[in-house]
Amino acid sequence: MVVLSNQSALNELFLAKTCNPPTMFTEVPVVDLSRPDAKTIMVKACQEIGLFKVVNHGIPLEVITRLENEALKFFMQSQSHKDKAGPPDPFGYGSKRIGTNGDLGWVEYLLLSTNPDIVSPKTLQLFHQNPQVFRLCVEEYIGAVKKMCCEVLEEMGEGLGMGERNVFSRMIREERSDSCLRVNRYPACPELKEEGALSGRNLIGFGEHTDPQILSVLRSNNTSGLQICLPDGTWVSIPPDPSSFFVNVGDLLQVMTNGRFRSVKHRVLADSSLSRLSMIYFGGPCLDEKIGPLPSLVSREEENLYRELTWREYKNAAYKTRLSDDRITLFQKS
Ligand code: GA4
């Protein structure tokens, strides 16, 4: 359980203004991966919103629940036990602190590399109680989500009319692809509904940000909390759906599509009575991959909006920023 030790730290987690109950976004585009119109719907969604929901994704429910249960078992351990697997640098267990630059959230989490060769001593600690089972569940889940992520990226390639459909997916399929898995638990915060100063306020679980990688694939339990920022600047809540996956565009995909796709700003708010558990796969390329607008996606009349950087350069710079910073400007041409 996350315990915030002092009132000032807690205060930092409240949104500046008390907001009205958030608007539920009922128009989340739905991509049925088994249908021929999947590519058209996802391209439109990436251009207009930066997020869509995937149904008929082919990932067995057991693969999801096996990892979810193992993660819950880990989070239910004592704080001192969990802390042995942290702090994340960058992989391992973390609580309240996000990144290394002072961001805080009402959240505890596990960050894991998807590369089985990168097993830090902390990650070993994490697998300590039941090493085989947890590890197998993580590998099984990553294998399934990565496959689906590549399928989505190939549909996108086709939907964008690119000659080769695997331009994006091959970056993720690469053996040295720098992808990661994050498991977040947002504990319920009963103080939000009790009488008193905290009641009716909004508590930040994970502050607003865009994801730096190519594509993020999220699955959560049935607790709401995820919000996205629409192009007009309004924040809306995404109704949870544990049987589906939510896919959002990351910064690298915005850059490669020369701004055609939108790396969507999102955040998570804590709930007063329900805890939220989400598992997010961040699909990224190899550290040495050069990223810039793809010539096949920039028409003759258009200008390149971004310069070229390797993922290593962008990632190193991004990790020095605060969560809410606009990192994509690092790519912008001066
Ligand atoms: C946001 C997306 C992923 O969760 C993450 C995050 C990372 C971290 O938690 O260490 C970052 C954040 C994320 C972007 C800016 C930096 C790095 C925290 C932070 C303040 C794992 C990622 O790749 O970038």
Task: Give me the number of domains the chain comprises.
Answer: 1
CATH of the domain at 261: 2.60.120.330
pLDDT band at 20 (very low <50, low <70, confident <90, very high): low
In a domain, 73, yes or no: yes
Is the model's pLDDT at 128 over the cut of 60? no
The pLDDT value given to residue 165: 93
Is the model's pLDDT at 314 over the cut of 60? yes
Is the model's pLDDT at 107 over the cut of 60? yes
Active-site residue identified among 135, 276, 307, 312: 276
Buried b or exposed e, range 65-101, using 16+ CB within 10 angstroms: ebbbebbeebbeeeeeebeebbebeebbbbbbbbbee
Mutate to test the pocket of ligand 1, among 107, 211, 218, 330 (most ligand atoms within 8 A of CB): 211
Rounded mean pLDDT, 159-186 = 96
In a domain, 3, yes or no: no
Question: To the nearest whole percent, how much of the chain has pLDDT over 70?
Answer: 89
The pLDDT value given to residue 132: 77
Rounded mean pLDDT, 25-36 = 98
The pLDDT value given to residue 150: 98
The pLDDT value given to residue 221: 98
Retrieve residue 246's tokens. Answer: 């939510």
171 close to 291: Cβ distance less than 8 angstroms: no
40 φ, ψ to 5°? -65, -45
Q: Which residue has the higher pLDDT, 232 or 202?
A: 232
Domain interval for residue 108: 11-331
The residue nearest atom 5 of ligand 1, judged by CA position, is 211
Secondary structure element (H or E) that encloses residue 159, with its range: helix 131-159
Rounded mean pLDDT, 140-165 = 97
pLDDT band at 198 (very low <50, low <70, confident <90, very high): confident
Is the model's pLDDT at 12 over the cut of 80? no
Is the model's pLDDT at 212 over the cut of 60? yes
In a domain, 44, yes or no: yes
The pLDDT value given to residue 90: 85
Is the model's pLDDT at 120 over the cut of 80? no
In a domain, 2, yes or no: no
Q: What atom in ligand 1 is closest to the CA of residue 280?
A: 4
Mutate to test the pocket of ligand 1, among 98, 206, 279 (most ligand atoms within 8 A of CB): 98
Q: What is the DSSP code string of 89-122?
A: SSSEEEEEEETTTTEEEEEEEEEEES-TT---HH
Whole-angstrom distance, CA of residue 222 vs CA of residue 271: 12
**Most trustworthy range by pLDDT among 8-12, 194-198, 199-203, 205-209:** 205-209
Q: Give pLDDT tens digits for 179-194.
A: 999 999 999 999 888 8
The response to whether residue 209 sits with its C-beta less than 6 Å from ligand 1 reads yes
Is the model's pLDDT at 168 over the cut of 70? yes
Whole-angstrom distance, CA of residue 183 vs CA of residue 278: 6
Is the model's pLDDT at 215 over the cut of 70? yes
The residue nearest atom 11 of ligand 1, judged by CA position, is 99
Whole-angstrom distance, CA of residue 67 vs CA of residue 134: 7
In a domain, 5, yes or no: no
